[in-house]
Amino acid sequence: MKQKRTKNEYVEWTQKIAPKTHKLKNIILAFIVGGIICTIGQVILSLLLKTGMLKEDAASLTTLLMIFLGAFLTGINVYDNIGRIGGAGAAIPVTGFANSIVSPAMEYKKEGYVMGVGAKMFLIAGPVLVYGIVASIAAGILYYIFTINI
């Protein structure tokens, strides 16, 4: 049997007739879900500041609490549903980062604490950490060079 299309023509054609992502709907949902998560963070921060806590300490504690919230919601099988609806709105806040670490840890627990949880925990978050650290080192070096010259 001969194909009537070249590979490129075929790929183009299938993409053209494929069911499309609802971009506007996804953007709006990401905005709402991300907004809700950030509002929760802001409420926590404001409450902490009200107790008379220093701003820096309150900010750190808020991040910690949000990480706990993300990890907790992952643990009780809720965050994957938030992620399915919210997309980037659920992935980019620190709760999403917690989800990306806790979900593989849960999944690979059955393969032991060393080669399972330990080795696979950063399956998804690994690249974020690697390139985040590389970027911060680069930024640090640049900062050092420019501040010395001044």
Contacting other proteins (CB under 8 A), which of 68, 81, 133, 134? 81
Within 8 A by CB and 6+ apart from 106, the residues are 74, 75
Residue 6 sits at φ, ψ, to 5 deg, of: -75, 170
Q: What angle do CA 73, 75, 78 make, to 5 degrees?
A: 45
Q: How many binding residues for other proteins (CB under 8 A)?
A: 41
* Rg of the Cα atoms in the chain: 22
What x/- string results for residues 5 through 44 when contact with other proteins is judged by CB under 8 A? x-xx-xx--xx-xxxxx----x------------------
Binding stretches for other proteins (CB under 8 A): 1, 3-5, 7-8, 10-11, 14-15, 17-21, 26, 74-75, 77, 79-84, 86-87, 90-91, 96, 99-100, 102-104, 106-108, 110, 123-124
